[in-house]
Amino acid sequence: MEETCKYYNTCPILTGKIHLEENKLDEYKARFCKGEKNAWNKCIRFQVREIVGRCPLDIMPDASMSPEEVIEKYDL
């Protein structure tokens, strides 16, 4: 059953605050925003936001940093 991330309507990637090429946006939507139950748990943005309530704009869903590294680097 397809589900959608609870941040889908407020995510800066999906609301246009972060500009991406259409094919990259579609890839992120398919891999992280919609799909199998809890697919978004693999999204670094989701994980950081769950921990501290926000995520820096320049962090992508497939960032190479762990959520803890993002939090430390950005002093969140």
- Enter the pTM of the model: 0.90
Two structure tokens written together for 22: 């259409």
The domain ranges of the chain are 3-73
| CB neighbour class for 28 (10 Å; exposed up to 12, middle 13-18, buried from 19) | buried
Band of pLDDT at residue 38, cut at 50, 70 and 90 = confident
13 residue type, one letter: I
Residue 17 to residue 29: CA distance in whole angstroms: 15
pLDDT tens string 7-36: 999 999 999 999 899 999 999 999 999 877
pLDDT tens string 49-72: 999 999 999 999 999 999 999 999
What Cα–Cα distance (Å) separates residue 47 from each residue in 10, 11, 22, 32, 60? 15, 13, 24, 11, 11
